[in-house]
Structure 1
Amino acid sequence: MQYASLFDQPENSYSVEILRHLIQAPSVTPCDAGTIQFMSEKLGDLGFDTEVFERHGVKNLIASMHFGEGPILAFSGHVDVVPATSQGWISDPFGAQIIDGVIYGRGAADMKGGVAAMLSATRVLLSQPKKLAGTFYWLLTSDEEGEAEFGSKLIAEKLAQRGVILDACLVGEPTSHQVVGDTVKNGRRGAISGRIAIRGKAGHVAYPEQTINAAHIAGNVVNELASLPWWKDEAGSQTTLQVTGLTVPNIVDNLVPASCEVTFNIRYSHAYKSGEVKDYIQAALSNLNINFDIEWERPCESFYTGAKAERCFLNLVEQAIYEQTGQYPSLSTAGGTSDGRFFANELTQVIECGVKNDSIHQVNEHVSVADLIKIERIYLSVLKRFFNFV
């Protein structure tokens, strides 16, 4: 395989070195623990123009390299991780120990492994004496696992203010299922939460005719929400609504409750946008003729990248994976949300591709050295194809 000599000693590879350094920095959201500056320096050493900016304790990095006229590609990722304690781990969750060819540590798969492999692939690309065309961006944040208000969202806004329109964006989230490269995300369902305050009329339980029981109304609301049809759903991208809470304040066994709160979360197909979802729910509740207020929380827009007749980034990634694995990947929009939503639009194709996700956010999160090398090779193949590396 081309450039095989670069991977002859995998445990001593550059991607392993970078990953271990990143894991050893306890960058629990929104703290970056120095990783943003570290990545800025590494990319600067490769010749990228780098800019680090901070907002409300979140650090972000925009790095760019212009090769000449041509399309614009971005690598996108995050250096922050969810918390971890030592309980149940076979090694320190921030120790980055290699045991039997497997690197253990918080963020190993989600997604410091992807960041390390992307950096190593970038380094290999730039070490080759070939003429490249286009512009290459790196976009990193320390605010993906949290509220995501001051990370990639602000990076995307800065790019828009500067008139930068990405042709393609590769997000290094862990997407693989059984083997590296078997699945990529070419979109994500949207997500939004709702909080419904139902107003009734209190009174003694012995005289229900003089009351309006908010808890009984809440039961009707739950039934209505659970039975709503989502007719625009597409195959492989189904909308699901789950009621997550039903609360009656100040419960007394002889008092009909005057108020009740219902909370719910919707993961909606990419066929919808959040505005449509909110209007649909509002109309359904209004048809019940009840007294209520609704508040919306944590909106995350859906996105989808389909095939294009020309300059199709989805096809490019599929070909890169086939080149390295001999198999084409399955396409999926399942799972949670990702920062890909901030960069996706009618002009920018966004694909997520990374290592296996079977241990993310879990005790003993890990990635094998072999898988890290495999995803690095896939990333390198993507870069060569995109920038016309021949």
Structure 2
Amino acid sequence: MSHLLQTSTGSYSSTVDVLRHLIQARSITPNDAGTLNFLEFQLKKLGFSVEQLVCNGVKNLIATRHFGDGPTLAYSGHVDVVPAQPEGWLVDPFSGQVIDGVMYGRGVADMKGSIAAMLNATRQLCLDTSPSVGTFYWLITSDEEGEAEYGSLEIARHLQSKGVVLDACLVGEPTSNKTVGDTIKNGRRGAISGRITIHGKAGHVAYPDKAVNAAHIAGELVTKLTELCWSKDVPGSQTTLQVTGITIPNIVDNLVPANCELTFNIRYSHAYKSQEVCEIVESLTQQPKFSAQLQWERPCESFYTGIKDNNCFLSLVEHAISKELGHFPALSTAGGTSDGRFFANNNTQVVECGVKNESIHQVNEHVSIADLNAIESIYLRILHDFFSTK
């Protein structure tokens, strides 16, 4: 099986066909494995103008179709996936096979299934009832699952340099819990990791009064870190700090350690920005008794989309799901970070909506065909409602 999709002139009219074609590309971060060329070809057939933005070897796709004066909507997604080994899988993880109405494959839920469903919804919008209002962007990257340095961040910067202001952004991350459409994300907690180096004084364990045990200092610091108060937390968006590692470079058991390293990760409420979080932790680690050096790593800002009085995209998505499924979705800011943070601002409402996330990054990642059809119907309803709004 080829690891690289070739630009295809074939017809992929169904969501299942498109998804299988995408799954067969081993697009492990940051390799797009031909998927962006495939999407470019398909979108151009629907009247989109397409450019590929290459940043430090990472490929990104920006596609645009202008229907007329009116609001601007972007669909944001990623074609890259985490690695998958064949052990434990029912099928080859890059085959896209269907068993008993369920498709299996790496990235089928996170998030090639969303891309396939949106492509078919976009096709129906453009070919069946092409609107006369608004502008539609597709913003697709191959650098989401890794460090995300040259993907959607660069796309957002590129749009800003062109003076493009998005009114709304729909991110296709898998957000559903028990059934498709039962949960959408109207924000995400922020995330940041820290690495603390603690310095003591080495000595013989039999004479602890002549040494300063870095591990003991680390133990006290761990306790203090877990007791930090996050007073700005809001309901449904709580800040959590988890120590992820304690390392002591000792190779003998009769030596008081002179150094100890702590690593931790904070998932913080959207009520905070990263600078505030850093200041709270630093007020602790900078105390003289800890003799600690702190290094921050991988900051990801929080974002939140609330209700607007007029032209509210969040309300539009809620009502679109209600029309299709007969119930409103729950709103959540839980889970990891997403590329939505790069597009969220005072002008742009960001909402994430996708298939169920129960199997993402796991062996036998899967999505049922019924769920693909459901999310496609939701997407089509969102597109129809958005581009019929003046």
Q: Please indicate, yes or no, whether the TM-score normalized by the shorter chain is above 0.5.
A: yes
Three-state SS of the structure 2 residue aligned to 1:251 is coil
In structure 2, the partner of 1:336 is 336
In structure 2, the partner of 1:185 is 185
1:64-123 Cα deviation digits (max 9, x unpaired):
111121111000000011111111111111111111111111111110000000111010
Instruction: Provide the aligned length of Structure 1 versus Structure 2.
Output: 379
Distance in 1 (alpha carbons) for counterparts of 2:174 and 2:387: 24
In structure 2, the partner of 1:250 is 250
Three-state SS of the structure 2 residue aligned to 1:231 is coil
Amino acid at match of 1:158: H
Distance in 1 (alpha carbons) for counterparts of 2:321 and 2:99: 27
Distance in 1 (alpha carbons) for counterparts of 2:199 and 2:359: 44
In structure 2, the partner of 1:232 is 232
Three-state SS of the structure 1 residue aligned to 2:217 is helix
Q: CA RMSD in A?
A: 1.4
Distance in 2 (alpha carbons) for counterparts of 1:290 and 1:172: 44
In structure 2, the partner of 1:20 is 20
In structure 2, the partner of 1:302 is 302
1:311-335 Cα deviation digits (max 9, x unpaired):
1100000010001000100000111
Does 1:100 pair with 2:100?
yes
Structure 1 residue runs without a partner (length 5+)? 1-11
1:130, CA displacement in angstroms? 4.5
In structure 2, the partner of 1:314 is 314
Distance in 1 (alpha carbons) for counterparts of 2:44 and 2:228: 52
Structure 1 residues 253 and 130: alpha-carbon distance in aligned structure 2, compared to 1, 3 A threshold = closer
Aligned residues of 1:251 and 1:257 also touching (Cα < 8 A): no
Distance in 2 (alpha carbons) for counterparts of 1:265 and 1:283: 17
Distance in 2 (alpha carbons) for counterparts of 1:22 and 1:192: 32
1:53, CA displacement in angstroms? 2.1
Instruction: Answer with 171-180 or 252-261: which moved more.
Output: 252-261
Instruction: Answer with 348-357 or 210-219: which moved more.
Output: 210-219
Amino acid at match of 1:25: A
Amino acid at match of 1:183: T
Superposed, which structure 2 residues align to 1:157-168 within 5 Å?
157-168=157-168
Superposed, which structure 2 residues align to 1:113-152 within 5 Å?
113-152=113-152
Aligned residues of 1:132 and 1:389 also touching (Cα < 8 A): no
1:314-362 Cα deviation digits (max 9, x unpaired):
0000010001000100000111111111101111100000011111111
Distance in 2 (alpha carbons) for counterparts of 1:326 and 1:132: 28
Structure 2 residue runs without a partner (length 5+)? 1-11
Aligned residues of 2:118 and 2:376 also touching (Cα < 8 A): yes
Superposed, which structure 2 residues align to 1:34-45 within 5 Å?
34-45=34-45
Structure 1 residues 288 and 321: alpha-carbon distance in aligned structure 2, compared to 1, 3 A threshold = farther
1:128, CA displacement in angstroms? 2.5
1:9-66 Cα deviation digits (max 9, x unpaired):
xxx9621111010001111111111001111111111111101122233210011111
Three-state SS of the structure 2 residue aligned to 1:289 is helix
Amino acid at match of 1:229: C
Does 1:79 pair with 2:79?
yes
Distance in 2 (alpha carbons) for counterparts of 1:334 and 1:129: 36
Amino acid at match of 1:273: K
Three-state SS of the structure 2 residue aligned to 1:262 is strand
Aligned residues of 1:117 and 1:376 also touching (Cα < 8 A): yes
Three-state SS of the structure 2 residue aligned to 1:132 is coil
Distance in 2 (alpha carbons) for counterparts of 1:79 and 1:284: 41
Does 1:359 pair with 2:359?
yes
Distance in 1 (alpha carbons) for counterparts of 2:129 and 2:381: 16
Amino acid at match of 2:161: Q
Amino acid at match of 1:95: S
Amino acid at match of 2:99: I
1:131, CA displacement in angstroms? 3.7
Does 1:69 pair with 2:69?
yes
Distance in 1 (alpha carbons) for counterparts of 2:172 and 2:132: 22
Distance in 2 (alpha carbons) for counterparts of 1:288 and 1:351: 44
Three-state SS of the structure 2 residue aligned to 1:110 is helix
